[in-house]
Amino acid sequence: MVTLRLSPLALSRSRFALSPLAETLGTALALARPHPAPWYAAWRARHLPAFTAALDADPFARGLLGLLSSTTWLPCSVAIPPPDGLRTTLAAELAAVRAVPDAVFRAELETSRAHPHPRYATGHRHHHDLAWLTGHDWAARTADLLHALWSAHIAAEWPRRRALLERDIAHRAGLLAVRGWPGALEQMSRHSTWEGPDAIRFGRHPGPDRVIGDIGLLLVPVSLATGTWLCEGPAGRYAQVYPARGAATTATADDPDRALERLLGTGRATLLRALRQPATSTELAARLRQSLGTVGGHLAVLRDAGLVVGVRVGRRVVYRRTERGEQLVGDGDGTAQRRTPRG
């Protein structure tokens, strides 16, 4: 497992960020790999025909995504730290991808090829050679491919996906204020653990440890991902990508509001939807124009059902939806050094 070691200053400067590129990469991996997670199988079935047709028409795309989906080392030419925090745009990230020279691009793919994933590389031929890597300007072709994937599979869903990612960040920011970084990173990934006051261990595969400099670490949530990966850029810039809470809501029913009301009743369904952002019972009562007693009764039922949980912050109790609650509501939509380990 890889260990990230952070100085006290690095901890104080670590922050959350968004990355449309990481979202695109995670989506591509979800489409390229067999045996999808059950919670996005329906979404994948809808998108897979167009995705497969695009790969069949382009040997470069088929070879590249075959390699990326069957390695434990994502090349840093596509796994880069988002440059502008929460305001990062896909255009800015793809510009960085395009700037990678051919020699560097190929060397990174050779490293990825040398680290086949024990689960996904079985029976996959694309990681054995790079015969599909013909011509030149590979980084530019990769940027064009990623942009096409974004347009075909993500752009229309991005507002809802972004809302899901922002909810995850808001949730973890609240934990950070109360419990510090170990609390904020709790259950970020089943393969990530906080070790002592200044180190994070993540992934299941061996790799060199990293020392995070005073610039700090970026934490980047994505939907449709089941693992984590580390992005590394120049000047010691690092970002850890992790699966956002509630990502199972990517595959939703055609009319989830009516189904939710039939299941919970109108009042409790309305309150559960209102907890898109964590809130106190007083805030919920004011927002919904209901009495505190009514809101408290609904919260008690939802809490007993495991759909919401209350976290004490000072004198207040802030309620948020649990992962089960996120899945039920389904309003959020709906993976330097040149080797980037992935869990």
Distance CA 193, CA 190 (A): 8
Distance CA 282, CA 157 (A): 32
Domain residue ranges in the chain: 2-248+332-341, 252-329
Distance CA 43, CA 251 (A): 5
DSSP letter for each residue of 54-121: HHHT-HHHHHHHHHHTTBSEEETTTS---TTGGG--HHHHHHHHHTS-HHHHHHHHHHHHTSB-TTTS
Q: Are the C-beta atoms of 329 and 270 separated by less than 8 Å?
A: no
Q: Which residue has the tokens 């996005």?
A: 40
Distance CA 219, CA 241 (A): 6
**Backbone phi and psi for residue 36, each to the nearest 5 degrees, phi listed first:** -65, 155
Pairing of strands 73-75, 339-341: antiparallel
What is the full per-residue pLDDT of the chain (343 aa) written as tens digits?
678 888 888 888 889 999 999 999 999 999 999 877 777 788 899 999 999 999 999 999 999 999 999 998 899 999 999 999 999 999 999 999 999 999 999 999 999 999 888 777 665 554 468 999 999 999 999 999 999 999 999 999 999 899 889 988 888 888 787 777 777 776 666 566 777 667 777 666 666 778 888 888 999 999 987 678 889 888 778 998 988 876 544 444 344 555 677 678 888 888 998 898 899 999 998 888 888 888 999 999 999 888 999 998 888 899 999 988 887 776 543 333 334 445 4
Task: State the architecture of 252-329 in CATH terms.
Answer: Orthogonal Bundle (1.10)
CB hemisphere CA count around 194 (13 angstroms): 15
pTM exceeds 0.85: no
